[in-house]
Chain A
């Protein structure tokens, strides 16, 4: 491995990680099988074994494992930075994130004391059995006592008392308040003041860099989602695309699937392609692990469960595209909150898992636990990260692992404060700067009637447009997020939508009117919009 892009330490970490994973033992077993073959000659032992492994597809599997590692472990500089810097290099943002987390945890704890419900409790035997039976139908009763004959007491949860811990607009207020202490922000001229509401001067890409990055989406390239529509003869694009897609899927190679998806995934291949890009391949261990998570849900009841349940009821159940999948959402979200694998992503997430203490041992570190076990406190709309994927996977277990991977790679960035260019702060700034540069009259007009564009677009970004666009469009958009390994396309789309509705937006005279123009996005076709916005100036 003479690749000079990766330092020795990085490669060593990669090797160490591979050695501890299942693929190592599998490879050893496969190599032993190869050695036992009678056709193998002693003089060519190493070559023979290697060839045998390659021929039986182990080469590909190893490549996929390495690819997965590369995707989740960014290259480190030398000397390697301290761990807090990996999470977030800018101190003031780190502090802001910590302050925000304190607020959330405080809110959660006070809800706890107000409603007199423990953060976690062990379920009685009987309740566990009931939950096991109703596991696939949680949409009906949810985390309330199923025995309707028992008198209602304080422990029976009345969902109306639960409020989501925070909503995107609360988060936006925090972001608006971010100030780099090295600058004087003020309205007097000569002082640094950004035009939009995000006042953190992070470096974001400009349109030329975006054009380069998304060059496979340019107008002269056929795309899934436009050029394979029903009224276009399939010989022009669709047939070739499907043929190519089948070949790509058969090679089972992550980078190849990713490259192919840059022009979008044909609907019937999307599920497999996403699995390959995310390197989600289920084996018996994964199935057991999910069962273990499910058992955790059955045994212990967390306050977070009620929050998740309420969130689903507020969002997906009321959505005419996703209400069908309500029960699946519980089967994914409840185990998710118990999954400690998710804690790993906090190494590169500016956020940190909230800590709670065993009853009576407040402040004593030996009795601190992560709460919830996966460290992620859901907010209003969290369930919508899962909902569009229900169109792809009808087994909950595959759905679970794909969602988990999507979360620890992309979605976490949408609700934590960080300087990462794809973090929500970066995306907001990208949105504002693109809009200011390319639709300055629109930006100025909206600002002058009291509508900062980000205030409308923010909720789209936080949810990655789930629930705002129609389901097939969300999937096409997320194809590109995966294929280009970047969330920046969300900001590009937001700008494109403002451009598209510019005529009406220029006529509005109030914030509410602007919001009304942008309220219904379900008729939009995202790919042509993005193409127009990026490539037709």
Chain B
């Protein structure tokens, strides 16, 4: 892992690197080390002046199957309590909470999947291994015969639960992605979470869109061509047309400019609001299950695809978004990301103290905007008129100096 972005930030602050057995204040861990820190056998208790960059069981959000499970459960819970958010349309689809493509777990839900597939046999589905990242092991499916292996697995009656290496999720492939310049892209947004209960999350303004270098072609023949379908930079980098100057990345500002100019402001605003609201709901869905260790914070990489009706779809959440840089503007952006993350998590100039109130001052937010601060929102509820759940505007700055958003759906 290229750590230069991290190291530069640490050095600028005059922090001292320490070895694995020394005392530390700030630990930017990878997923493996987190397991060690919090493991029942060899883990240790963190002191008040130590912060670490992952939540112990972040997999509830960052593993594809667990995320889907949690979101489905969250929706059902809201439905049961009669929350207006869980309203469904005449086809039984959620109106406000329909933000993940239809997904099944394999091999567990194989039969359910087959039933669904037979209802609409001309659809394409995408198979993703649960435990992998960076586009590895993904393939597209449009015939049941491609899934023979999982059909066999589901019929065996042994009770050993499949390990994460064997489980896959299969989701409805979004075959009408929004194309710009004829090319498919997805969005990478960075979200910092400093606490789950109460939920405190921040959205980084400098997200980007990753473009496929090859023109999007929905024809069956191109299903095998991963350059057409997968936007992961690690895959695109190997293509012939990969360009090192821009790396196929477009800033979110350019995306916004294009959409406002060609589709209009209202629909663009609605799109961006909806994306933010999807992020908040995905976090709320797992908030109950994640151990809210106050030593922890986490910077997630959200992958979102927009279809050509300007509806966003949450594809997955990454716990360790790549910090390697493919272009120089990329490096600058990631440097700013880490810089702002550190400033929010530890008020500048101070030693970490996990007992602080976790309400960063406005000037420390840098390029982050407050996405949702549950604690502050509740204070508003007590202070003023009860906030109704309605369409939101997340441009927090519009409301003057208070960081919390006004209303949200």
- Chain A positions within 8 Å of B, measured between CB atoms, are 136-137, 139-140, 230-231, 233-234, 242, 266-268, 270-271, 317-321, 323-328, 390-394, 471-472, 475
A sample of 19 inter-chain contacts (CB < 8 A) reads A136-B215, A139-B241, A230-B395, A267-B257, A268-B260, A270-B261, A271-B261, A318-B243, A318-B246, A319-B245, A320-B245, A320-B249, A320-B250, A321-B254, A323-B250, A326-B181, A327-B182, A391-B258, A472-B257
Is A271 a contact of B181 with CB atoms below 8 Å? no
Is B215 a contact of A137 with CB atoms below 8 Å? yes
Q: How far is the CA of A326 from the CA of B245 in the complex (A)?
A: 15
Q: How far is the CA of A391 from the CA of B260 in the complex (A)?
A: 9
Known contacts A230-B397, A230-B398, A324-B181: A472-B246 contact under CB 8 Å: no
With a cutoff of 8 Å between Cβ atoms, the chain A residues found around residue B211 in the complex are 323-324
Partner of B182, one of A137, A234, A266: A137
| Least CB distance, A303 to chain B, in whole angstroms | 24
Q: How far is the CA of A471 from the CA of B181 in the complex (A)?
A: 16
Is A317 a contact of B181 with CB atoms below 8 Å? no
Q: How far is the CA of A7 from the CA of B395 in the complex (A)?
A: 56
With a cutoff of 8 Å between Cβ atoms, the chain B residues found around residue A270 in the complex are 261
1/0 contact string of B142-178 vs chain A (CB within 8 Å): 0000000000000000000000000000000000000
Known contacts A137-B215, A230-B397: A324-B250 contact under CB 8 Å: yes
Q: Which residue of A lies closest to B369 (CB)?
A: A230
Is A324 a contact of B183 with CB atoms below 8 Å? yes
With a cutoff of 8 Å between Cβ atoms, the chain A residues found around residue B329 in the complex are 320
Q: Could you tell me how many residues of chain B have their Cβ less than 8 Å away from some Cβ of chain A?
A: 31
With a cutoff of 8 Å between Cβ atoms, the chain B residues found around residue A390 in the complex are 181
Is B238 positioned at the interface, with any CB of A under 8 Å from its CB?
no
With a cutoff of 8 Å between Cβ atoms, the chain A residues found around residue B214 in the complex are 140
Q: Which residue of A lies closest to B256 (CB)?
A: A267
Task: Pick the 6 closest A-B CB pairs, nearest first.
Answer: A320-B246, A268-B265, A324-B181, A267-B260, A231-B397, A394-B262
With a cutoff of 8 Å between Cβ atoms, the chain B residues found around residue A318 in the complex are 243, 245-246
How many A-B residue pairs have C-beta atoms within 8 angstroms? Tell me: 78
Interface residue SS majority, chain B? mixed
With a cutoff of 8 Å between Cβ atoms, the chain A residues found around residue B261 in the complex are 267-268, 270-271, 391-392, 475
Is B137 positioned at the interface, with any CB of A under 8 Å from its CB?
no
With a cutoff of 8 Å between Cβ atoms, the chain B residues found around residue A327 in the complex are 181-182, 215
Q: Which residue of B lies closest to A323 (CB)?
A: B246
Q: List residues 86-138 of chain B with CB under 8 A from any CB of chain A.
A: none
| Least CB distance, B34 to chain A, in whole angstroms | 34
With a cutoff of 8 Å between Cβ atoms, the chain B residues found around residue A136 in the complex are 182, 215
Q: How far is the CA of A381 from the CA of B262 in the complex (A)?
A: 25
Which of B241, B258, B264 gathers most chain A CB within 10 Å? B258
Q: How far is the CA of A503 from the CA of B243 in the complex (A)?
A: 36
| Least CB distance, B406 to chain A, in whole angstroms | 13
Is B395 a contact of A471 with CB atoms below 8 Å? no
Is B182 a contact of A267 with CB atoms below 8 Å? no
Q: Which residue of B lies closest to A242 (CB)?
A: B265
Query: 8 other contacts beyond A318-B243, A321-B250, A321-B254, with CB at 8 A cut-off?
Result: A268-B264, A268-B265, A323-B250, A324-B211, A327-B181, A391-B258, A391-B261, A472-B253
- Chain B positions within 8 Å of A, measured between CB atoms, are 180-183, 211, 214-215, 241, 243, 245-246, 248-251, 253-254, 257-258, 260-265, 268, 327, 329, 395, 397-398
Q: How far is the CA of A242 from the CA of B265 in the complex (A)?
A: 10
Q: Which residue of B lies closest to A326 (CB)?
A: B181
With a cutoff of 8 Å between Cβ atoms, the chain A residues found around residue B246 in the complex are 318-320, 323
With a cutoff of 8 Å between Cβ atoms, the chain B residues found around residue A471 in the complex are 254, 257
Q: How far is the CA of A391 from the CA of B181 in the complex (A)?
A: 10
Q: How far is the CA of A230 from the CA of B393 in the complex (A)?
A: 12
Q: Which residue of B lies closest to A389 (CB)?
A: B261
With a cutoff of 8 Å between Cβ atoms, the chain A residues found around residue B262 in the complex are 271, 391-394
Known contacts A137-B182, A230-B398, A328-B181: A317-B243 contact under CB 8 Å: yes
With a cutoff of 8 Å between Cβ atoms, the chain A residues found around residue B241 in the complex are 139-140
Which of B245, B262, B264 gathers most chain A CB within 10 Å? B262
Q: Which residue of B lies closest to A317 (CB)?
A: B243
| Least CB distance, A148 to chain B, in whole angstroms | 12
With a cutoff of 8 Å between Cβ atoms, the chain A residues found around residue B251 in the complex are 320
With a cutoff of 8 Å between Cβ atoms, the chain B residues found around residue A391 in the complex are 254, 257-258, 261-262
Q: How far is the CA of A392 from the CA of B211 in the complex (A)?
A: 19
Q: How far is the CA of A391 from the CA of B257 in the complex (A)?
A: 7
With a cutoff of 8 Å between Cβ atoms, the chain A residues found around residue B260 in the complex are 267-268
| Least CB distance, B1 to chain A, in whole angstroms | 24
Known contacts A266-B265, A318-B246: A231-B181 contact under CB 8 Å: no
| Least CB distance, A60 to chain B, in whole angstroms | 23
| Least CB distance, A516 to chain B, in whole angstroms | 15
Is A324 a contact of B257 with CB atoms below 8 Å? no
Q: How far is the CA of A137 from the CA of B248 in the complex (A)?
A: 16
Q: How far is the CA of A307 from the CA of B268 in the complex (A)?
A: 37
| Least CB distance, A243 to chain B, in whole angstroms | 13
| Least CB distance, B276 to chain A, in whole angstroms | 14
Which of B180, B248, B260 gathers most chain A CB within 10 Å? B260
Q: Which residue of A lies closest to B183 (CB)?
A: A324
Q: Which residue of B lies closest to A321 (CB)?
A: B254
| Least CB distance, A235 to chain B, in whole angstroms | 10
With a cutoff of 8 Å between Cβ atoms, the chain A residues found around residue B258 in the complex are 391
Q: How far is the CA of A233 from the CA of B257 in the complex (A)?
A: 20
| Least CB distance, A330 to chain B, in whole angstroms | 11
| Least CB distance, B210 to chain A, in whole angstroms | 11
| Least CB distance, A403 to chain B, in whole angstroms | 15
| Least CB distance, A224 to chain B, in whole angstroms | 12
Is B398 a contact of A233 with CB atoms below 8 Å? yes
With a cutoff of 8 Å between Cβ atoms, the chain B residues found around residue A321 in the complex are 250, 254
With a cutoff of 8 Å between Cβ atoms, the chain B residues found around residue A266 in the complex are 265
With a cutoff of 8 Å between Cβ atoms, the chain B residues found around residue A320 in the complex are 245-246, 249-251, 327, 329
Q: Which residue of A lies closest to B244 (CB)?
A: A318
Which of A139, A266, A318, A324 gathers most chain B CB within 10 Å? A324
| Least CB distance, A413 to chain B, in whole angstroms | 26
With a cutoff of 8 Å between Cβ atoms, the chain B residues found around residue A234 in the complex are 398
